[in-house]
Amino acid sequence: MDGVKTRISLWDGVDCDDSPLIFGVKLVRESSEPNDQDDSLGILLISIHEVSTLCVHDLRTRLQKQVLSLPSDFVFCTVKGWPLSREQESQLKIKQIVTEERSILLKRKYEKPKVGIKGKDGQPIGFIFSDFSEQLNQSRQDVFEQVLSYKGICRNFQFLDPNGWPVSNQQETELTVMDILVGSCVTVDVKLEPSPKRDAEFSPPDRLPIKRLKGLRDLSFRSSKDVERQQSADTSNIGVTSSTAKQILISYVRAEAAEHAITLKEELSALGFSVYLDVHEISSGVDWQDSLNFAVSNCETFVPLVTHRYGETQWTNREVKLADVLGKFIIPVSFLETWPPRCLAIQFASTQYILWKPLDQLSPDMTWNHDIRKWDRKYIQMVAEQIGDRVKNLNMPTQDALERVPTLIKRKTILKSCACVTESNSQALTSDREGHPLIVVCLHPAEKEFGAQLKKFLETKNYDVWCTTELQIDYADSIPASQEACSQSLDDKQQLASLQRFQEKADEAGVILFVLSKAFAKSRTCQQQVFYCEHRKRVIPIQYEQFCMPGWMRMLIGTKGQETVSDETHKDALLCRLKRALDPTARESAGATMNEAKISCAVERLRQTLDIDTCVYIAGSTKFYNQSSEAICRSIGANLAALDMVTLVTGGFYGVGETIGRSFYEESQRLFYHHDTWHILPEYDTQDRTSQAQQNKDGTFQLINYGKTLFLGDSVRERETIVARAFNICILVEGGPGAAHEVVEFSWNDHIVIPVCCTGGAAGGSFNVPDKIFEIPRGVSVKNWSVLSDQSASPDRIGKTVAKIIQDLQNTMKADTSRELSSPKSMMPWATSLYSTKCRRNIQSCNQSIPQSDTSPQKQKTSLTRMNTLIL
């Protein structure tokens, strides 16, 4: 107590009555600089008697009343700056923590201590919140998630102990943060390679210029079909381009044309063009919309490899629409037997394309020559030369170009709802539609009477309304099972004119209304209209009747936010949404954006936790309906365990997932293989799923008693979206509506589904699963694929065949990765986000470099933003 007496003696001469004294309240700085002064928060009035008698804990109430700028949560500190616990507050008197300057020291309280992260050169990198007792292998995840991922640094770093000695991965499980802590900091060794020179044409600026606009006006675009676009002048305003560069972006479905895209890129590069492959996948810390925007916006020519699934996967769907909206010169390479593609018929109705092979090589009697998995080098060279000729014509005088390039349809339309496009965009012509706002109603002729009533109602509210039933067009009442089944070719001038009429009306409209019905879901024409409008326009879905939505409709429109005709208030609700959508002062809710960010974060956590390259996801029924399914599942699990590199992932449900997962786990243990078995479950689900999984009464789920369990997502549906984005391969056995939804998600994300067709259910084609899952993946033999449909095949044979298919797919993916890495510019040079997951895993030894700052002028970015729906 001698120290206390010394400090009290400083108050000699002060009246020892109840008169209040002034005490300063300071917030202790967390800076390591010794000369930095603490922040003054205010003063506290308290008597000398209370200083000696009251406990430190009693100060909290008084501080909250007298100091306005008090932190939301804090701890008291001693005169040396040491923090006190709540228990210690009740044991110490106020006089014991008052400094000689009559100050009371506080420190901001965090849930966990702040730990600084610095490089081995002593330069600060950031900080994390971590317990000092936490093992280093757990802190590694915190360092990457909280610091390195946002700086664009590879996660391949190494902790250093206080002597500067590297800590191995094995030692990380034995050491804690405290063991390597030096002055509230830990040191890491992050080896950064020199950043490659950035391409000004394809490099996004580090920070976009902030530009104030009086307001966004309605905009019209010069389409890719517009011959008066003056391509050279337009592209020169997008970025800093060279006079000789011919930037070409190749867009493709990875499952169908990855090898073709790489080979075509090589041939075009040999002709002297700068060629880049499309954005396939976005890694953490990089916004997919920014990456997609810069990739498409800054190319001069957009070359889609139109295979059967092109436009039906999330990336190709986004890319081709954005390219069209921005008026890019589009040169499709068609691998189809008929033109245009079934989902892009409206956009590509009048677009000139290049055949992947000469017409004489595609005659009906040469069916062997239609296998798009084999593209001879001589034909690739021929296509590259044709693309080169068209690209070279872009910078020629307009009249000369028109004579040499096939005639394109001239079309100038108004894209009223593309609010993301600013007035500074050189490719946008500002104009206003005269008269009342236009609303386009897309519906099937079976609901023509309802459409007429809706049109009459909206016209009384001062809207112009146009219904698609006014077109003279054939509304096919069946959607073909595949692109090959499409027999329609747009040789009919009346049919072509109708599609162009719809295109112009849709582009001019402020809002699109989809009247959803059974007939609408089955109509090929209605499907084409949805594919064209979604993501370009603000859309409002109207549910005309109850029906089972097919997968393509769920992916494009979603199951939420629909106005139901049977609801008595649906007209009032519709008017409210129309007014909001058309009001230029209204701003869309950030809910969809936040949900997208949340899902992306969960996907990234999966990628950081699991070795995605080796993962195989299991989907299927929670109960067995086929008498041989259970034996097949056990065989699949056991045979997968015999492979060298496989990580099995289930959804944590009973039935197929439980049987394959447990068989895989037990066989791995028996063989002494270190294969991981993971179960991905949602945090909770409001629906009662006790018959499907180990669910608690509060909706949460229990840990699985074998393997490892990871909880992601706030519902089963959200979990399904997350796993479909993350994993490349899915095995489907039987399956009901839930498994069918997972399959739709996997297909939409351009990932491979292996259906064991002989088990029936979704795997046999039920529940509206997409037909594309039954197509033979590249790298898999026809013989092995046919075993999956063989009802007479034994469970043992099916299990061995599935394992062989997995092995073949993994080898194919590794070969693609190796080939992509062998080409230094096969991806955009400014974003590692353009690498696939496989690429990122295989180049961890070569740490990702940080882009250097770029001071070159850039136009404000333009992107095709999410309107009223969200593509997953």
Give the CB-side neighbour count of residue 522, counting CA atoms within 13 A: 10
* Best CA proximity match to 750, nearest among 308, 95, 103: 308
**Residues 355-364: pLDDT tens digits?**
999 887 776 6
**Mean pLDDT, rounded, for 52-56:** 88
For the chain, the domains span 2-108, 114-189, 216-587, 596-819
Model pTM?
Answer: 0.62
Element (H, E) at 708: strand 708-711
Q: What DSSP character marks residue 107?
A: E
Number of H helices, E strands in the chain: 27, 28
Do domains 2-108 and 114-189 share one topology? The answer is: yes
Position 456 scores a pLDDT of 95
* Best CA proximity match to 388, nearest among 260, 234, 268, 255: 268
Given CATH 3.40.1450.10, say whether it is the number of domain 596-819.
no
DSSP class per residue in 542-593: EE-S-----HHHHHHT-SSSPEETTSTTHHHHHHHHHHHHH-TT----SHHH
**Residues 382-403: pLDDT tens digits?**
999 999 998 888 766 554 444 4
**Residues 178-189: pLDDT tens digits?**
999 988 899 988
Q: What's the rounded Cα separation, in Å, for the pair 653 and 738?
A: 11
Given CATH 3.40.50.10140, say whether it is the number of domain 216-587.
yes
**Mean pLDDT, rounded, for 295-312:** 88
Does the pLDDT of residue 739 top 50, yes or no? yes
Q: What percent of the chain has pLDDT over 70?
A: 73
Query: Which tokens hold the place of 379?
Result: 């034909």
Q: Of how many residues is the chain composed?
A: 872
Q: What's the rounded Cα separation, in Å, for the pair 773 and 41?
A: 64
Helix (H, G, I), strand (E, B) or coil at 372: coil
Least confident residue range of 456-470, 495-509, 520-534: 495-509
CB atoms within 10 A of CB 695: 21
**Pairing of the two strands 677-681 and 647-650:** parallel
Query: Which tokens hold the place of 724?
Result: 């479909």
**Could you tell me the sign of the dihedral formed by the alpha carbons of 827, 831, 835, 839, in that order?**
positive
CA-to-CA separations, 574 to 239, 467, 507, 554, in angstroms, rounded: 42, 16, 21, 21
- What phi and psi, each to the nearest 5 degrees, are found at residue 742? -60, -40
Mean of all residue pLDDT scores within the chain? 78
Contacts of 224 (CB under 8 A, 6+ apart): 302, 323, 324, 327, 328, 329, 330, 351, 408
Give the CB-side neighbour count of residue 430, counting CA atoms within 13 A: 10
Q: What's the rounded Cα separation, in Å, for the pair 540 and 532?
A: 14
Looking at per-residue confidence, does 224 or 266 come out higher?
A: 266
Contacts of 31 (CB under 8 A, 6+ apart): none
* Best CA proximity match to 513, nearest among 471, 436, 458: 458
Q: Which CATH number fits domain 114-189: 3.10.20.90, 3.60.21.10, 2.60.40.1930, 3.40.50.720?
A: 3.10.20.90
Looking at per-residue confidence, does 430 or 145 come out higher?
A: 145
* Best CA proximity match to 101, nearest among 196, 178, 10, 181: 10
Position 652 scores a pLDDT of 96
CATH number of 2-108: 3.10.20
Position 423 scores a pLDDT of 43
**Residues 222-260: pLDDT tens digits?**
333 333 333 333 333 333 333 334 489 999 998 888 889
